[in-house]
Chains A and B, each alone.
Chain A
Amino acid sequence: MTILKHELRQGRSSFLIWTSVIGVMLSVCVFLYTEVRGEMDAVTDLFSSFGSFTAAFGMDRLNFGTLEGFYAIECGSMLGLGGAFFAAICAVNMLSKEEVNKTADFLFSHPVSRKRVLLEKLLAVFVQLTMMNVIVLAMSLLSILAIGETIPWAQLLLLHLAYYLLQLELAGICYGISAFVKRGSVGIGLGIAVLFYFTNLISNLTESASFLKYFTPFAYCDGADIITEQRLDGGLMAIGAGACLLGILIAWYQYTRKDLS
């Protein structure tokens, strides 16, 4: 597990920055809830009048006045986008950086197979994402307890689980891309995360675009669905798992055959 440990060490700064930013932002949001709780009925009424844009953000089915509703919209956006960005950057850089930074000669002139490198680097991505989600969840739960609210365990855990799975899916896809690209990988990773995010917004806008939900992992992270139905969409998650696996297999195929520069 030398490569795994090495990757965790190399990615420590980035991990700490992203985790603390997302965790602190979530906590700030939770603390803000006590301030704005009384005004939320008016806000809910206001937001519900935006037609299809209201639906795009799931605000037609959520009550801003409840912690779950507020959390799903406000904290969900931060966790969703922040987590997706971190997952994409982390995964899309993981393989490509060896060639970009010209460290491939050092690593691959040691008796380590490319399969081992692929596996340990993938584990490094997943371990970082898991640790980030555990820490962010813990910070969020502590914040809710600090403001004296009851933790809505089922909804909260499902919401966090959905975003964790989103990050894994995005990471798998970006890992596949990482085996091909040599430069500009961060831009590609961020671009894909943003593309998925907006694809989900568009799929929520009109019925005719709803088929797009099959092409974005943000679809199974829809806070309105999770809070109201208290379950995750198994079909969409299965598609996501398939996309993640496909990304990893493509990385495997490409990286074990390519010439390293």
Chain B
Amino acid sequence: MEAIQTEKLTKNYGTARGIVELDLSVHAGEFFGFIGPNGAGKSTTIRTLLGLIYPTSGQATVFGMDVVREKESILRRVGYLPSEAIFYPKLRVRDICKLSANLRNMECSAEAKSLCERLQLDPEKKIDELSFGNRKKVAIVCALQSKPELLILDEPTGGLDPLIQRVFFEILRERNRDGATIFFSSHILSEVQRNCTRAAVIREGRIIACDSVEAFANAGAKRVTLRGQVELKGLPGIKDLREGEGTRSFLYSGDMPRLLQCLSAGQVTDLTVAEPDLEEIFLHFYEEGDENT
């Protein structure tokens, strides 16, 4: 069963590009990362899935239900955490949580209380008095208190301090273990790498890669760092070459025997070959895209 499925999903804002023929598939129970820089189309995708905006063409379903025709049925099973947590003024935290529960026709006070405690959020505080980070916590409580089957999180950690981020990811992992699907949009790749099982990379409105996080790390390039004299000129597959004090470091995606041949021809005093982190792979994808365009 697919929690989210899109087929050639396109959204234009007049003549401006939103997302272009997006094909995406998120399996039920997955912790899925959705990676892309600002303006790539992450929020447009999410807003289309939630029915806040209408697709220009193509199709999108959540739990097999059409996002346009069956929006209310979908939203009953979805918790959404927006990138900007903005609420009605003058209300207290507990009023907002209650309003959110009432809009779902649910009684969630026990779960809301538990989440507030874990996130160190005072439910008696007025929304107007809260910092950006604390408003984000309110949004987290509202998204999670109904224990939805699908959590859609748009840049969820912005404003949260590292301790609360840790608690937040603990809660997400618990929910994921209990069967919830998590669709996690972020441009902080270390978060995706630590938590997600699969991820998709979106660039200028198009999905340019979709695979397991492990495969991303393995299939891409290696980070090679060496000390010594080696002639790298003419060796294909080198990217992101950085030169330090006697060291050179680069991403290598070319033929491995050829690299070894090249290294043995020189005088290498120290060498490390490591898996690059997702951040490097991500940049690698974007560089490739830039070259193509």
- Chain B residues whose C-beta falls within 8 Å of the C-beta of A109 in the assembled complex: 50, 52, 75, 78, 80, 82
Cβ–Cβ contact A112 & B72, under 8 A: yes
Whether a CB of chain A sits under 8 angstroms from the CB of B17 is: no
- Chain A residues whose C-beta falls within 8 Å of the C-beta of B13 in the assembled complex: 259
Minimum CB distance partner of A116 in chain B: B72
- CA distance in complex: A108, B54 (Å): 13
- CA distance in complex: A6, B96 (Å): 10
Question: In residues 85-120 of chain A, which contact B (Cβ within 8 Å)?
Answer: 101-113
- CA distance in complex: A111, B149 (Å): 14
- CA distance in complex: A35, B249 (Å): 94
Q: Interface digits, B74-109 against A, CB 8 Å rule (1 contact, 0 not)?
A: 111010101010111110000000011011100000
Whether a CB of chain A sits under 8 angstroms from the CB of B221 is: no
Contact of B103 among A101, A104, A112, A259 (CB under 8 A): A112
Cβ–Cβ contact A102 & B86, under 8 A: yes
- Chain B residues whose C-beta falls within 8 Å of the C-beta of A10 in the assembled complex: 88, 90
Contact of A108 among B52, B74, B76, B89 (CB under 8 A): B52
Cβ–Cβ contact A111 & B87, under 8 A: no
- CA distance in complex: A22, B100 (Å): 35
- CA distance in complex: A233, B78 (Å): 52
Residue in B47, B74, B76, B88 whose Cβ sees the most chain A Cβ within 10 Å: B88
Minimum CB distance partner of B139 in chain A: A106
Cβ–Cβ contact B102 & A2, under 8 A: yes
Question: In residues 14-65 of chain B, which contact A (Cβ within 8 Å)?
Answer: 47, 50-54
Whether a CB of chain A sits under 8 angstroms from the CB of B8 is: no
Cβ–Cβ contact A257 & B54, under 8 A: yes
Contact of B99 among A2, A111, A257, A259 (CB under 8 A): A2
Cβ–Cβ contact A105 & B82, under 8 A: yes
**B89 shortest CB reach to chain A, Å:** 8
**A119 shortest CB reach to chain B, Å:** 14
- Chain A residues whose C-beta falls within 8 Å of the C-beta of B82 in the assembled complex: 105-106, 109
Cβ–Cβ contact B88 & A103, under 8 A: yes
Cβ–Cβ contact B88 & A2, under 8 A: no
- Chain B residues whose C-beta falls within 8 Å of the C-beta of A111 in the assembled complex: 72-76, 103-104
Chain A positions within 8 Å of B, measured between CB atoms, are 2-3, 6, 10, 101-113, 257, 259-260
A-B contact pairs, 12 of them (CB 8 A): A101-B88, A103-B87, A105-B80, A106-B87, A108-B50, A108-B51, A110-B75, A111-B73, A111-B103, A113-B72, A259-B52, A260-B47
